Structure 1
């Protein structure tokens, strides 16, 4: 089958290595050892040995043999490089979670993005086959209308975000300046929220594509001759 062929191709180039993972505002970026299992479609990560941090050295065997620190299901995910620098990329999971990672350099990032996308594609197609029954026509139409409304709402949100940014940049007030910390924080939160909505819409679009019925074919059905 085509799915098995794609998975076998991914198995030839098994991904593993050290990446920085964004944890939270307090802890920031933390080194983790990541491995991808193309057969199961899981991205797992482990704690790095303190002596090997930043050296791309695999943890000790007993660490890899233990339960991973965390796992990410790649089926239905979206892998995309960040435009903030040449090393950062993110994985928007079908569950709604987003994992932000950073490679050592631009080349390593591209290798990870390409490899992860190959695994995502193979397992998403397998998921599509297992969930091949489409929604009923009425629910499919309602979902399509909801997507149109969501796109319109996101467009208005983008306009409001742009208007807010311009208003802050051009503010003329004795009490505030464009570099006021509170205004900069407001601007950053607005931009981040808009980007998050973009990711959510992408996941919804992917889910809608999975549930769309196949297009009708133009094949003619042969009519059996009538025996008189």
Structure 2
């Protein structure tokens, strides 16, 4: 579809959902669509400084365009906050599975310890990266470049990368 059409979205932190309506006047009715955000990936688009995508854990994807770069960053930040809150809630109620033992390593406790050490090292490195990412975000937010579209893309990409790496490590650990 060419062009963009105005639509109304409501983020519901209470339920962890993003609700879609054709217009603001519809918001008192049942939403046309609702996307549960637990496990979703919110990613700014490379095509311009206003668009971003919401990729749900179920495979649903919507592409959105904010009015400007600042509005996009506000939406991305809020969507990610709700996503992370519900993803962590699910993860805390479902602890990770113990690591699988491969037949070649099943009788070798040293190999199993090496794998666990490797995961611990990865988690440690990711914790350092998260601290650097937080510092980067803070620097951007307090600088005069906080509205520069390219800097906002950098901030969003860094956040998405760290989030994705954490998710990948959790999957590998399971």
TM range (shorter): 0.5 to 0.7
Asked if residue 80 in structure 1 is aligned to residue 75 in structure 2, the reply is no
Measure the CA separation in 2 of the matches of 1:116 and 1:131.
Answer: 22
The secondary structure found in structure 1 opposite 2:5 is strand
Name the counterpart of 1:137.
100
Q: Deviation digits for residues 83-119 of structure 1, max 9, x if unmatched?
A: 1111001111111222100000011001001111111
RMSD: 2.8
Maintained 8 Å contact 1:128/1:210: no
Number of paired residues? 115
Name the counterpart of 2:52.
89
The secondary structure found in structure 2 opposite 1:39 is coil
Q: 1:107 aligns with which of 46, 51, 70?
A: 70
Q: Deviation digits for residues 22-49 of structure 1, max 9, x if unmatched?
A: xxx3x6532210001112100001111x
Q: TM-score w.r.t. structure 2 length?
A: 0.57
Structure 1 residue runs of 4+, over 4 Å off? none
Q: Deviation digits for residues 127-155 of structure 1, max 9, x if unmatched?
A: 1112214166148x9xxxxxxxxxxxxxx
Gaps of 5+ in 1: 1-24, 49-58, 142-201, 214-228
Asked if residue 122 in structure 1 is aligned to residue 85 in structure 2, the reply is yes
Q: Deviation digits for residues 154-212 of structure 1, max 9, x if unmatched?
A: xxxxxxxxxxxxxxxxxxxxxxxxxxxxxxxxxxxxxxxxxxxxxxxx98x83661573
Maintained 8 Å contact 2:39/2:83: yes
Gaps of 5+ in 2: 106-162
Name the counterpart of 1:212.
173
Name the counterpart of 1:42.
17
Maintained 8 Å contact 2:39/2:57: yes
Name the counterpart of 1:29.
4
The secondary structure found in structure 2 opposite 1:123 is helix
Measure the CA separation in 2 of the matches of 1:42 and 1:66.
Answer: 16
Structure ranking higher on relative contact order (CA contacts 8 Å, 6+ apart) = 2
Measure the CA separation in 2 of the matches of 1:210 and 1:39.
Answer: 27
Q: TM-score w.r.t. structure 1 length?
A: 0.45
